[in-house]
Amino acid sequence: MDIGGREKKNFHVIDVVGKIDRLKDSIVLKSYINTLLEKETSNVALNLAQVTYLDSGALNVLIYCHNQVKKKGGSLVLIEPNEYVRDVLEVVGLNKLVQIYSSEEEFDNAF
């Protein structure tokens, strides 16, 4: 897994690439998010367009991130998960907690 960040509108967008399927990946992602939240970032968008797989640890990180961002009065949104990832998110009910955008263009138009 690789991650990178960029600012877009009032969100910090985290571009995630590859599989999130090892404990190390989840720890790295959680640490990255914690660093953002310590710097007064309150709105986080995870761009999942290039994520091919996520395990239960990754799902736990998404729930954790949602809770931490919400405590700061912000929002967590997910951008462009592929069909497999979207199905997993829906099965566990994350689509009821966070807004999921089908594309970055849809995300851009929402703000």
CATH number of the domain bearing residue 52 = 3.30.750.24
**What tokens appear for 84 in the block?**
């497999």
pLDDT band at residue 10, thresholds of 50, 70 and 90?
Answer: very high
The pLDDT assigned to 98 comes to 96
Decide: residue 56, CB within 10 A, 0-12 exposed, 13-18 middle, 19+ buried: exposed
Q: Write the pLDDT tens digit of every residue in 27-83.
A: 999 999 999 989 878 899 999 999 999 999 999 999 999 999 999 999 999 999 999
Side chain identity, residue 48: L
The pLDDT assigned to 22 comes to 86
* Count: domains in the chain: 1
Domain that holds residue 7: 2-110
The pLDDT assigned to 23 comes to 85
Q: Residue 6 contacts by C-beta under 8 Å, 6 or more apart in sequence?
A: 12, 13, 15
What does 22-73 look like in DSSP terms, one character per residue?
Answer: SHHHHHHHHHHHHHHHHTT---EEEEEEEEEEE-HHHHHHHHHHHHHHHHTT
pLDDT band at residue 9, thresholds of 50, 70 and 90?
Answer: confident
Side chain identity, residue 34: N
